[in-house]
Amino acid sequence: MHVVYPGSFDPLHNGHLDVIQRAAKLFGRVTVAVLENPSKRGQWWFTPEERVEIIRSAVAEAKLANVEADTFSGLLAEYMRVKGSKVIVKGLRAVSDYESELQMAHLNRQYGNHPETLFIMAATRWSFVSSTMVKEIARYGGDVGKLVPPSTAEALKIKLMVLP
């Protein structure tokens, strides 16, 4: 079965990678789908292409042969239809994640091929990690090495050299 794990992944952190690894054990094929949203371009640190490359590197390091990375824009349900997948995988850290993800799951079922959403609870050790926190720590020179895969740590190092 082919599933899609959508998100912004700006940047990919170990919580995301944990969900990817667990989904890869459960399903035959996993597409990590990076959201391309031109209206938010200034809010993201990494371009969609950079995020895909970070994911591909992390997946290769983790030896996950059944995982691919891609980008999409527009409605997730339409992307799901094009990819021929009927299952969305989402990671949850806390009740606040559940509330917003539940709304999206119900909305996605109204469109396209009526995809189902499966939730994977974040491993306890990653339940506090968010891309926002990773960027905040990195911006102030903190060590994010324990929070992100090596590909993300390297990309952050390079990005911080060019950020104002």
Active site residue 114: no
- Binding site as annotated, residues for ATP: 8-9, 16, 91-93, 101, 126-132
pLDDT tens for 59-85 read 999 999 999 999 999 989 889 999 999
The burial of 93, by beta-carbon neighbours within 10 Å (0-12 exposed, 13-18 middle, 19 or more buried), is given as: middle
pLDDT at 163: 59
Checking if the pLDDT of 35 tops 70, the result is yes
The reported pTM is 0.93
Could you write out the three-class secondary structure of 75-107?
CHHHHHHHHCCCEEEEEECCHHHHHHHHHHHHH
Active site residue 93: yes
Fold of 2-162: Rossmann fold (3.40.50)
Q: What are phi and psi of 68, to 5 degrees?
A: -125, 160
- Binding site as annotated, residues: 8-9, 16, 40, 76, 90-93, 101, 126-132
- Binding site as annotated, residues for substrate: 8, 40, 76, 90
Contact 19, 5 (CB under 8 A): yes
> Is beta strand 87-92 parallel, antiparallel or unpaired with respect to 67-72?
unpaired
pLDDT tens for 111-139 read 767 899 999 999 999 999 999 999 999 99
Checking if the pLDDT of 164 tops 60, the result is no
Checking if the pLDDT of 25 tops 90, the result is yes
Domain ranges for the chain, please list them. 2-162
Active site residue 40: yes
